[in-house]
Amino acid sequence: MATTDLTEQNFAESITDGIVLVDFWAAWCGPCRMFGPIFEKVSENHADITFGKVDTEAQQGLAAAFQITSIPTLMAFRDNILIFSQPGVLQEPQLEELIKNIRALDMDDVRRQVAEQAAAKAATGTDAASEASSN
């Protein structure tokens, strides 16, 4: 499967279902040019996975939204949940291992953990607001 160009217009709908790997890159970036062919080659082995590329120069809003400060940065989403983010070049065996690990995830457990973290964060925010208003 070839890679897909992701933009602000199609990004959200692209990560909703299944596994999506996103390569944040730029044409002037040497390490990005090293990782690009690896990303493309691995995409050929996994037709069921979406391999998307975000050109950080053309899609500065997306790069800012995801706080990209170093490229290439690889992000992995599964069922609209960000489950991996790492800057730097991965070699082919590392990328294949990452995909294997993503496939093995228990997504019910991941969703439970995400809900717990959101509840804890909301509780902390509420407590802080309560304390501030009572002082």
**Which of the residues are catalytic?**
29, 32
Strands of the sheet containing 50-55, edge to edge, are 4-5, 50-55, 19-25, 73-78, 81-87
Most distant CA atoms of the chain, gap in Å: 60
Q: Where are the alpha helices (DSSP H) in 9-106?
A: 11-14, 30-43, 60-65, 92-104
> Do the bridges between strand 19-25 and strand 81-87 make them parallel or antiparallel, or are there none, so unpaired?
unpaired
- φ, ψ of residue 64 to 5 degrees: the values are -70, -40
Residue with tokens 């790492």: 86
Where b means 16+ CB within 10 Å and e means fewer, 91-102 reads: eeeebeebbeeb
